[in-house]
Amino acid sequence: MTSPEVHPNDFKAALGAWAAGVTVVTTKSENMVHGITASSFSSLSFDPMLVLVCVANTSRLVQMINESKRFAVSILAEGQEDVSAHFATSGREPVEKFEQFGTIEWHTGSPIIDGSLAHLDCELYSAVPGGDHTIVVGKVLGAAATPERKPLLYYRRGYRKLILDD
């Protein structure tokens, strides 16, 4: 049986119909920090507590996570579009500190974005090839959330707001 050919625009349109939260994934390696915006993030397991994020193979972050064996995931809150846009910019190099955004460090020393809705601090559990991406799996060492904030959502190539019907 011959597989049908899927046009890239159809693939993007179908995936754009999936409303997703927005995360920034960061690491610190050799006193340099780096991060990317990612919406391909998910919980994976409860025992052990694992999460996964998909990172483009061309991203410097993959190499840095493999070197440091640690990373953090900051789940962005409504109003953090500027943070998302900054970390979505390709071609950025690792820096000594994220000057324009406040961060905290927790168990692993990976930067966590101030004001985020939630965050997870992880040690590298595994990194698995996945086409033009690497599936980075982290064992969660710490997790926290701020329930009074709303999530930053991404849907059909734009940021959206969550409206709660209480």
pLDDT of residue 166: 64
Task: Count up the domains in the chain and report the number.
Answer: 1
Provide the 3-class DSSP secondary structure of residue 95.
strand
Domain extent, residue 94, equals 21-155
Q: For residue 108, is it within any domain?
A: yes
Q: For residue 27, is it within any domain?
A: yes
Q: For residue 151, is it within any domain?
A: yes
Q: For residue 5, is it within any domain?
A: no
Q: For residue 150, is it within any domain?
A: yes
Rounded CA separation 164/117 (Å): 16
pTM given for the model: 0.91
Q: For residue 110, is it within any domain?
A: yes
Rounded CA separation 100/72 (Å): 18
- The CATH number of whichever domain residue 47 belongs to comes to 2.30.110.10
Q: Which residues of the chain fall below pLDDT 50?
A: none
Query: Which residues, listed in sequence order, are joined to residue 55 by a DSSP beta bridge?
Result: 134
